Amino acid sequence: MVLNVAATLLRVTGVTLLIYLFKWWSWVKQKNLPPGPAPLPILGNMLHLNTSELPQSFVELGKKYGPVITLYMINGRAIILTGYDAVKEALVDHGDAFSDRGDIGIGEVFSKDHGIIASSGERWKILRRFSLSTLRNFGMGKRSIEERIQEEARCLAEKFMKDKDAPIDPTYILRLAVSNVICSVVFGERFDYEDQRFLMLMTNFNDFSEVFNSRTGQEKKNPDTEFHEANLQATILDLFFAGTETTSLTLRYGFLILMKYPEIQEKLHKEIDNVIGRDRSPSIEDRSNMPYTDAVIHEIQRFADIVPSGVPHTANKDTTINGYQIPKGTMVLPVLTTVLKDPKQFKNPDEFDPGHFLDEKGGFKKHEAFMPFSAGKRICLGEGLARMELFLFFTTILQKFTMEPIIDREDLSIRPEPKTNATRPHSYSMEVIPRY
């Protein structure tokens, strides 16, 4: 009896496995998919990827298989896009087809598909329109938001001046300063850097819903509304997470790069002195008269490359990219590092060179492959705010200080910290030397 049961279970298991393998093979062999490495059952292509250095894995696969690659993950098929041409074709030329969000792997943190970053379809359109409108009402792109950033930049400079006699690790204070800009928009006030409420807010984003004690109004009576508590919480989390970490990381990278290249820092000092002087705060209007500073900030963003793997999208209809079929429902990953460091677009892609954004006469030169905020329909909501913050924070600090390393300049590494998926620079401390 026991032997019969065991034999039956063995046969059922064998048949089930054969059915699985047949379906899996049919799925893998679907016609006109982009090329890629041969996958294994269940594991897919996981053995072809270094999970602590994914961007570099994608770069190497792109060299071997071309700009559009098929990979099989444990949770399904993914199309990897490498290089400016492929990413532009998908996100810009076929932006509508790839406007849905892919699985970003942190669904619980972002309340599944709520908020702006993780949502798709009509929900995403409604929340994006509402968020843009609200931010404009709060001063996005206007003098009022500039004044908030100027105030925070002055506070950061005061903090540096207070701590000038000892080496400074800028990581935490930059995060506080940039987050304070979002606080001033969302809460209507900035916080002192020692304020315990502010410190608690920064250490636990999950408390945002309690701190931002708001309600969704009459909309509660509408069962189909997207203006409910889950979307409110997730949208506020999006604003703080995306609006704090990316900009503060870019500033942190920028200070490190300027310490590595003192001649670039000196040129920035001269342009700031000539255009702004030392008696007034920098303003956004100054940017058009400061081509070298603008070029350096763009190059910092390009070189820092802090979202190298990009954010996943999903094809919402069958689409053709680079001659290959992308089936509806397939996750698509535009690898931004392969755009920002595309050798066809930048002459020295792996080196820091402000000349990438300067013309022959020294004027600022735009570049279509400059995509640190991604591109197309899902371009970063806070691009305008981030650009204002980077210019005003950099110029305000450089107006008042020279940044010096506490170790030999030759030992400074401006490459990403290993095993972080190339998302952050090495930790460092610096001395801030008042310029007057």
Q: For 402-429, what is the mean pLDDT?
A: 93
116 within 8 A of 254, measured Cβ to Cβ: no
Please report the sign of the dihedral spanned by the C-alpha atoms of residue 394, residue 395, residue 396, residue 400: positive
CA 255 to chain centroid, in Å, comes to 18
pLDDT above 70: residue 158: yes
The per-residue pLDDT for range 203-214, each reduced to its tens digit, is: 654 444 333 333
Q: At what angle do helices 262-275 and 229-260 cross, to 10 degrees?
A: 110
pTM recorded for the entire structure: 0.84
Please report the sign of the dihedral spanned by the C-alpha atoms of residue 240, residue 173, residue 190, residue 306: negative
| Residue 110: strand, helix, or coil | coil
pLDDT above 80: residue 245: yes
Q: For 406-431, what is the mean pLDDT?
A: 92
Max intra-chain CA distance, the chain: 94
* Model confidence band, residue 236 (pLDDT cutoffs 50, 70, 90): low
Q: What is the pLDDT of residue 144?
A: 80
430 within 8 A of 405, measured Cβ to Cβ: yes
DSSP string, 112-146: TT-TTTS--HHHHHHHHHHHHHHHHHTTTTSHHHH
- The β-bridge relationship of strands 313-314 and 324-326 is unpaired
Please state the φ and ψ torsions of residue 40, each to the nearest 5 degrees.
-100, 150
Number of neighbours of residue 21 by Cβ within 10 angstroms = 11
Lowest mean pLDDT of 48-57, 220-229, 248-257, 374-383, name the range: 220-229
For residue 55, give every residue at least 6 positions away whose Cβ sits within 8 Å of its Cβ, in sequence order, or none: 308, 309, 335, 337, 421, 422
Alpha-carbon gap, residue 74 to 40, rounded angstroms: 10
Pick the CATH number of 31-434 from 1.20.1250.20, 3.40.640.10, 3.20.20.80, 1.10.630.10: 1.10.630.10
pLDDT above 70: residue 1: no
Lowest mean pLDDT of 113-117, 274-278, 289-293, 429-433, name the range: 113-117
Q: For 22-28, what is the mean pLDDT?
A: 54
Alpha-carbon gap, residue 185 to 285, rounded angstroms: 21
End-to-end CA distance of the chain: 93
Q: What is the pLDDT of residue 209?
A: 36
Percent of the chain with pLDDT over 90: 55
Q: What is the pLDDT of residue 108?
A: 43
pLDDT above 60: residue 398: yes
68's enclosing H/E stretch is: strand 68-73
pLDDT above 70: residue 359: yes
Strands annotated E in 245-378 = 313-314, 319-321, 324-326, 331-334
Lowest mean pLDDT of 2-16, 142-156, 158-172, 354-368, name the range: 2-16
* Model confidence band, residue 370 (pLDDT cutoffs 50, 70, 90): very high
pLDDT above 80: residue 319: yes
Strands annotated E in 255-363 = 313-314, 319-321, 324-326, 331-334
Q: What is the pLDDT of residue 382?
A: 82
Average of per-residue pLDDT values in the chain: 84
Q: For 290-294, what is the mean pLDDT?
A: 98
DSSP string, 177-192: HHHHHHHHHHTSS---
Q: For 409-414, what is the mean pLDDT?
A: 95
Alpha-carbon gap, residue 433 to 436, rounded angstroms: 9
Q: What is the pLDDT of residue 213?
A: 33
Q: What is the pLDDT of residue 200?
A: 75
Q: What is the pLDDT of residue 357?
A: 98
100 within 8 A of 314, measured Cβ to Cβ: yes
Sequence letter at residue 137: N
More confident residue, 92 or 124: 92
Alpha-carbon gap, residue 221 to 227, rounded angstroms: 11
Lowest mean pLDDT of 49-63, 236-250, 294-308, 365-379, name the range: 236-250
Alpha-carbon gap, residue 235 to 241, rounded angstroms: 10
Alpha-carbon gap, residue 363 to 348, rounded angstroms: 19
Give the position of tokens 């690790």.
169
Give me the long-range contacts of 220-228 (CB less than 8 A, separation at least 24): 226/122, 226/123, 226/126, 226/127, 227/130
More confident residue, 222 or 261: 261
Alpha-carbon gap, residue 362 to 357, rounded angstroms: 9
Number of neighbours of residue 28 by Cβ within 10 angstroms = 16
* Model confidence band, residue 114 (pLDDT cutoffs 50, 70, 90): low
pLDDT above 60: residue 25: no
pLDDT above 80: residue 421: yes
Q: What is the pLDDT of residue 122?
A: 75
83 within 8 A of 51, measured Cβ to Cβ: no
Alpha-carbon gap, residue 315 to 127, rounded angstroms: 20
